[in-house]
Amino acid sequence: MFGLFNKKSEKEKLQEAYTKKLAEAHKASQVNRKESDRLATEAEEIAKKIELL
């Protein structure tokens, strides 16, 4: 219950952003392959930042 008010760490924020980008990339892959590739690349950049933490 008290965890509700804790701020998220940088790693948690990056993990959420990574998951969101992958979901967007998957959705875009059904319509626009170029956009999907761009989003997947952004997700990989976020993954690299997570590894550095």
What are the pLDDT digits (tens) for 4-38? 667 778 899 999 999 999 999 999 999 999 999 99
pLDDT at 49 over 90: yes
pLDDT at 2 over 60: no
Q: What is the DSSP letter of 8?
A: P
Return the structure tokens found at 27.
Answer: 């959705």
What pLDDT is stored for residue 47 in this prediction?
Answer: 95
User: What pTM was estimated for this model as a whole?
Assistant: 0.79
Of 2 and 46, more confident? 46
Rounded Cα gap, residues 8 and 10, in angstroms:
7
Q: Would you say the C-alpha torsion 35, 41, 45, 51 has a positive or negative sign? A: positive
What pLDDT is stored for residue 9 in this prediction?
Answer: 87
Is 16 within 8 Å of 34 (Cβ atoms)?
no
Domains of the chain, by residue range, sit at 9-52
Count of helices and strands (H, E) across the chain: 2, 0
